[in-house]
Amino acid sequence: MNIVYALIGPPACGKSTIARELSRYGVPEIVSYTTRPPRPGEQDGVDYRFIDKDTFAKTELIEKIAYSGHFYGLGKKDVLNIIEKNPVSVVGVDRNGLEQLKKLLGQRVISIFILIDEGTVIDRVIAQGGDLAAVRAKIDYAKAAGEFDNWQIADHVVKNTGPLENAVRQVMAIMKLVDLQPVTPPQQ
Ligand SMILES: Nc1nc2c(ncn2[C@@H]2O[C@H](COP(=O)(O)OP(=O)(O)O)[C@@H](O)[C@H]2O)c(=O)[nH]1
Ligand SMILES: Nc1ncnc2c1ncn2[C@@H]1O[C@H](COP(=O)(O)OP(=O)(O)O)[C@@H](O)[C@H]1O
């Protein structure tokens, strides 16, 4: 049975980073649509599929959100295409996204909660010169929405408070991909 592994967890816990690392091992990621314009360095089809509002309105999505004046969502066809063609794939979602995926795919979805504490998130954002106020607001919102407690509903929990490689290896072990070697070099 082909499986989509859904990475869940609070903002900045490392969902996108882990998914990006997995793509180096040939594990495809289901990429969201957004109406937000690309930021410098972002690639269409890798970070997001960047589309306009009319196209977004016409695209069949399994879940969507409005955030900061832009729309984001997961395409139904993308989910079905990827699961049909790949034994193992990955997607980063919030709790509602996970619920909608389960409605569509049933037991073909396995969830992995990426565990992190608030202090580590803040340290990482400061270390990378990120917008601390914006992240604080997101963390507060995520706390209120219970995103920090979603380990309770997850099938697996992986800690991402140490080196990224450790978390990636644990996720790959859950995926039963322990012997895979990277197919592309690390990102700069
Ligand atoms: N529900 C849902 N949320 C998404 C999707 N894609 C991105 N998001 C969320 O939208 C928010 C904004 O994302 P982004 O514009 O990349 O901003 P940033 O996370 O602040 O850098 C983040 O909290 C993402 O996790 C999606 O397909 N569905
Ligand atoms: N193990 C790790 N060690 C150090 N920094 C990390 C690690 N995992 C993720 N990060 C960094 O933390 C930040 C948030 O990660 P991201 O993947 O964007 O989170 P999410 O997709 O869950 O919001 C990024 O800047 C990323 O480079």
Ligand nearest to the CA of 170: 2
Compute the distance from residue 72 Cα to the ligand 1 centre, in Å.
6
| 11 CA closest ligand 2 atom index | 23
Domain boundaries, the chain: 3-30+79-174
Ligand 2 contacts (CB < 6 A) are 9, 11-17, 92, 124, 128, 160, 163-164, 167
pLDDT per position as a tens digit, 113-154: 999 999 998 888 888 887 888 888 888 988 898 889 999 999
| 12 CA closest ligand 1 atom index | 19
| 74 CA closest ligand 1 atom index | 27
Give the pLDDT score at 31: 97
Give the pLDDT score at 134: 83
pTM of the model: 0.93
Collect the ranges in the chain with pLDDT lower than 50.
none
Contact yes or no for 82/97 (Cβ under 8 A): no
In this structure, the residue with its CA closest to atom 15 of ligand 1 is 36
Domain 3-30+79-174 annotated CATH 3.40.50.300: yes
Compute the distance from residue 47 Cα to the ligand 2 centre, in Å.
14
Give the pLDDT score at 188: 60
